[in-house]
Structure 1
């Protein structure tokens, strides 16, 4: 009987020590996962990777932008998934944002930041400039996945000495219209 009490006391002691060791262990990582999105009345879904994206335009020489010059084009795309073309077969894209105020910058996206004297031009897959707020030419869709190809370049002000070096950003929203 005495041995049973000793074994029980020893077992209880081990359980208490193990419990306190476990309680003393700090969290080894935790976090939150938030899922966001929207359900749209559209024949295609926009892939998560291209619904909100950053297009790095690189380091552009101010000399290349003088007197209305332009940078090289940087391609980007909007990817559409699971398209069904039973009733709708084309899509247009309209880019919306702050208009550029540079001389010779009609339809360009404005830039913000330290850099001045330039605007961002957006082109379709054929290299044709898409004016801000104006729909792109219609692109034919096919069932399944589709990519809408675009490019962007920086265009300088046509006024002499208007280009000021520095970092910039330009933010455009896009709207798809299916027909």
Structure 2
């Protein structure tokens, strides 16, 4: 009798285990979201250029306090599927929380004190927030690479300010104007 009970118990456990796998295998379906927008412009903007994160890593407080910068971190804006007719140049404007002393300093937020982010063009020109950059020539995407290159550094805010140990972050937006 005990042997029969053990076999019945084992049979029940195996059946329960198999049915739980079956339930999981035929459970709720997954979901994939697709997003985008259509714009009245000659070029689209690559999805990986729309929402970027530039990571400065760990930056030396002593270096910033002595006027130094973090290592430069590159970022880019990729223009895709361009249909060039009359508008073959694009001008970029960056905006964000700007330092009153210097419009080339994007204010960072967090507990690291007075850290700012300075952005530069590929040609080493410091970007002034709110001011349009000189237009760059672009071409049809199938025959021309339309990638706008920039870089950024973290630095101490201009003036008599201090930098503390801690995290910082900043946010800039960009707009494009075609001509």
TM-score, L = length of structure 1? 0.79
Instruction: Trace 1:48-59 onto structure 2 (pairs within 5 A).
Output: 48-59=47-58
Structure of greater Rg: 1
Say yes or no: does 1:165 pair with 2:162: no
Unaligned runs of 5+ in 2: 1-18
User: What is the aligned partner in structure 2 of residue 138 from structure 1?
Assistant: 135
User: What is the aligned partner in structure 2 of residue 63 from structure 1?
Assistant: 62
How far does residue 28 in structure 1 lie from its aligned partner after superposition?
5.0
How far does residue 71 in structure 1 lie from its aligned partner after superposition?
2.0
How far does residue 69 in structure 1 lie from its aligned partner after superposition?
3.0
> Secondary structure of the residue that 1:131 maps to in structure 2?
coil
Could you say if the C-alpha distance between residues 100 and 89 of structure 1 is closer, same or farther in structure 2, counting changes exceeding 3 Å? same
How far does residue 92 in structure 1 lie from its aligned partner after superposition?
1.0
Quick one: which of 25, 30, 33 aligns to 2:23?
25
CA distance in 2, matches of 1:118, 1:48: 29
User: What is the aligned partner in structure 1 of residue 9 from structure 2?
Assistant: none
User: What is the aligned partner in structure 1 of residue 152 from structure 2?
Assistant: 152
Instruction: Trace 1:32-43 onto structure 2 (pairs within 5 A).
Output: 32-43=31-42
User: What is the aligned partner in structure 2 of residue 122 from structure 1?
Assistant: 119
CA distance in 1, matches of 2:48, 2:33: 16
CA distance in 2, matches of 1:159, 1:123: 20
CA distance in 2, matches of 1:62, 1:22: 55
> Secondary structure of the residue that 1:129 maps to in structure 2?
coil
User: What is the aligned partner in structure 1 of residue 110 from structure 2?
Assistant: 113
Could you say if the C-alpha distance between residues 106 and 69 of structure 1 is closer, same or farther in structure 2, counting changes exceeding 3 Å? farther
> Secondary structure of the residue that 2:107 maps to in structure 1?
coil
